[in-house]
């Protein structure tokens, strides 16, 4: 699957940023819930391992999921539950995360894209599962890039994340107990390579134009729409961008304007 290659490249790019960091730098808090860079990497590593088990060992997946779901439903902190499962810290964690994402990418590259994989919510196809891992790596990678003061250079593999954002248009409303207005607003997004990607068939619900990477930032909630240069036309389009959420779980609010940005290096 091309998506497995895209996940691998996304992970390797992030690894190149964190590999040189000291133990002290890994402990620096990010602007995402105050999680440290180490906490972010542990989160990525935990769910990468879960994705491998979802593909190859459903029994281990279900067993490992129990304490995490208990923590979530019981009001506990997700990082604490993940910390119980992942003992490595510092550069040992960085190395273990790297080993796992290489193994995961190879496993999914050889998998049947339509194979069903168990997950914390509904099951997903293998293609959707590895795409979700790229999305998580890209989204959580953003707080690391922001914390380090690094300007991210995106590639057209971000198309997978844009498509995920498009496919979860209805979910962004449904997770809030609302009916999604139809039809979905049209999109005209400029890719990192300069190609224009278009989605939707009618402008009756509005039009969203701008950079594909900024659309990705909004649907993954790493930026408030007010902190992008996206042009929004129409009430439905504005409503979508105010609550867009391409990830599972309960309803999540986007960051407040001006709270997520790349720090000065």
Flag whether pLDDT at 229 surpasses 90: yes
Task: Please state the rounded mean pLDDT for residues 217-236.
Answer: 98
Return the percentage of the chain with pLDDT > 90, whole number: 90
Pair 170, 108 in one domain: no
149: alpha, beta or left? (left if phi > 0; alpha if psi -120 to 50): left
Give the domain extent around 141.
2-153
Flag whether pLDDT at 222 surpasses 70: yes
Spatial distance between the Cα atoms of 232 and 234, rounded to a whole number of angstroms: 7
Task: Please state the rounded mean pLDDT for residues 9-32.
Answer: 97
Pair 182, 125 in one domain: no
Pair 178, 116 in one domain: no
Q: How many domains does the chain have?
A: 2
pLDDT confidence band for 195 (50 / 70 / 90): very high
pLDDT confidence band for 76 (50 / 70 / 90): low
Q: Is the dihedral of CA 119, 124, 130, 131 positive or negative?
A: negative
Is 63 a member of any domain?
Answer: yes
**CA 70 to each of CA 35, 59, 133: distance values in angstroms, whole numbers, following the listed order:** 21, 17, 22
Pair 49, 71 in one domain: yes
Last residue of a domain, one of 153, 176, 201: 153
**Ranges of H-type helices in the chain:** 2-18, 23-26, 37-56, 58-73, 78-85, 90-109, 126-148, 159-167, 169-174, 212-219, 235-243
Q: Any idea which residue has 């190149």 for tokens? A: 16
Is 57 a member of any domain?
Answer: yes
Task: Give me the chain's average pLDDT, please.
Answer: 95
What pLDDT score was predicted for residue 122? 86
- Dihedral angle computed from the Cα positions of residues 89, 144, 135 and 104, in that order, rounded to the nearest 10 degrees: -30
Is 212 a member of any domain?
Answer: yes
Pair 17, 89 in one domain: yes
Last residue of a domain, one of 153, 184, 215: 153
Is 252 a member of any domain?
Answer: no
CATH number where 132 lies = 1.20.120.450
Flag whether pLDDT at 69 surpasses 90: no
Q: Is residue 193 exposed (0-12), middle (13-18) or buried (19+ Cβ within 10 Å)?
A: exposed
Task: Record the pTM.
Answer: 0.95
What pLDDT score was predicted for residue 212? 98
Pair 79, 97 in one domain: yes
Flag whether pLDDT at 151 surpasses 70: yes
pLDDT confidence band for 73 (50 / 70 / 90): confident
What pLDDT score was predicted for residue 74? 67
Is 236 a member of any domain?
Answer: yes
45-56 pLDDT, tens digit each: 999 999 999 999
Is there a cis peptide before residue 183, judged by omega within 30 degrees of 0? yes
């Amino acid at each position: 699957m091309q998506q497995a290659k895209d996940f691998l490249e996304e992970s390797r790019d992030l690894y190149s940023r964190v590999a040189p960091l000291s133990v002290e730098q890994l402990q620096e808090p990010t602007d995402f819930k105050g999680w440290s860079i180490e906490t972010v990497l542990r989160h990525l590593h935990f769910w990468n391992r879960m994705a491998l088990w979802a593909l190859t060992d459903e029994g281990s997946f279900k067993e490992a999921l129990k304490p995490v779901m208990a923590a979530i439903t019981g009001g506990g902190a997700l990082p604490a539950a993940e910390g119980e499962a992942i003992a490595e810290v510092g550069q040992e964690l960085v190395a273990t995360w790297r080993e796992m994402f290489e193994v995961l990418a190879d496993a999914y590259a050889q998998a049947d894209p339509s194979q069903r994989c168990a997950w914390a919510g509904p099951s997903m196809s293998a293609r959707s599962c590895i795409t979700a891992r790229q999305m998580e790596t890209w989204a959580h990678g953003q707080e690391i890039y922001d914390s380090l003061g690094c300007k991210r250079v995106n590639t057209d593999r971000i198309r997978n994340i844009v498509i995920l954002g498009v496919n979860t248009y209805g979910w962004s409303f449904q997770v809030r107990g609302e009916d999604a207005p139809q039809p979905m607003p049209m999109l005209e997004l400029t890719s990192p390579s300069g190609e224009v990607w278009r989605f939707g068939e009618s402008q009756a619900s509005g039009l969203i134009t701008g950079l594909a990477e900024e659309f990705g930032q909004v649907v993954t909630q790493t930026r408030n729409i007010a902190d992008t240069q996206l042009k929004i036309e129409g009430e439905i389009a504005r409503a979508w961008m105010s609550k867009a959420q391409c990830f599972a779980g309960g309803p999540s609010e986007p960051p407040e304007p001006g709270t997520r940005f790349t720090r000065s290096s």
